[in-house]
A = this chain, B = another copy of it.
Amino acid sequence: MKIGIDMMGGDFAPLEAVKGLQTYLSTSDLPANLYCIGDEAQLKVILADFGLVSPDIILIHAPEVIGMHEHATKAFKEKQQSSIAIGFHMLASGKIDAFISAGNTGAMLVGALYSVKAINGVSRPAIASIIPKLNGSTGILVDVGLNADCKPEHLNQFGILGSLYAKDVFAIENPKVGLLNVGEEEGKGNLLAQASYHLLKENTSINFIGNIEGRDVFQDRADVIVCEGFTGNIILKLAESLYDTAKERSIQDEFMHRFNYENVGGTPVLGVAKPVVIGHGISNANAFCNMILLAEKMVNSNICGHIIEQFQS
């Protein structure tokens, strides 16, 4: 397996990316080949410093970098020699099987949507976050920010994408899909939620269990919670802030600590043709390692193939 890594992306690049590689390689039984994309001269030195010299680590020179605050579309178009643009060229042309980056999120999305492209039939690819549950298991929230304005058919598709992600990457059998809403009963909610409920209920390819209220987000009611990217993004960021709160206030509690973004690593772009994982700008070694593991799972499970099959039928 060949995983491409943008070594120049994120606030602490390339150091934390290198450390993340080290963690991954030291813990993996059968590690993937890692295609490290970035400034070759700089990377050569730092990888050697960490003793990371092996035929499994392949350096790919990228003379340019897209900054964290550059205009995404413009930068992606103009900086064709950037680590992100090169990563997507390699992914699109099959030279790597997955691509991860903690760099400019907008540029990553541009690459995912315009270079790798949405799968036929998927009208809106989405990003998904994991939600820790009180019983120790893991739920999925989708969309968490790619689509701030949605139509009912988009939420219906998120139900399918989230289900396949839960099955393939989290090994959840027949995942329960819930619609984030303001009440339990059918008929509750804003116009979008009301209309989405009907579509989800009629959707025979998922296991729809009804509405999920805010109080049930961390309960074991649904494995996949579907919402538009506006509410999803706000919940995701609020949940992540709970980890910071626990840390700052010295709250020693395993559940609170599961909100740590590092354990998540990054979010996949669900519904595009190849595995793409986007990390936080603040990604550290642990986060980079988990992003590689997520990419590995996405490739091994053939989630993109399953999405293609599902949307063909």
Contacts and interface: CB of A to CB of B under 8 A. Distances in A.
Interface stretch (A43-51, A75-83, A210-218): A210-218
Given A190-B148, A230-B190, A231-B230, A237 B214 contact: yes
Contact of A251 (B213, B215, B240, B251): B251
A228 B192 CA distance: 13
A231 B213 CA distance: 11
Contacts of A236: 214
A74 to B, nearest CB: 15
A218 B239 CA distance: 11
Contacts of A251: 251, 253, 256
A218 B190 contact: no
Contacts of A189: 148, 230
B230 A214 contact: no
A134 B251 CA distance: 13
Interface residues of A, number: 40
A12 to B, nearest CB: 19
A138 interface: no
Given A148-B182, A238-B238, A245-B134, A214 B190 contact: no
Main SS at interface, chain A: helix
A281 to B, nearest CB: 13
A244 B219 CA distance: 11
A80 B119 CA distance: 58
A83 B233 CA distance: 42
A241 B218 contact: yes
B229 A182 contact: yes
Which 6 interchain pairs have the tightest Cβ spacing?
A214-B237, A148-B190, A214-B238, A214-B234, A215-B241, A215-B237
Interface of A: 134, 145, 148-149, 180-182, 189-191, 193, 213-219, 228-231, 233-242, 244-245, 248-249, 251, 253, 255-256
20 contacts: A134-B248, A134-B249, A148-B182, A149-B191, A182-B233, A182-B234, A189-B230, A190-B230, A214-B235, A215-B237, A215-B238, A215-B240, A217-B234, A217-B238, A217-B241, A218-B238, A218-B241, A235-B235, A242-B242, A245-B255
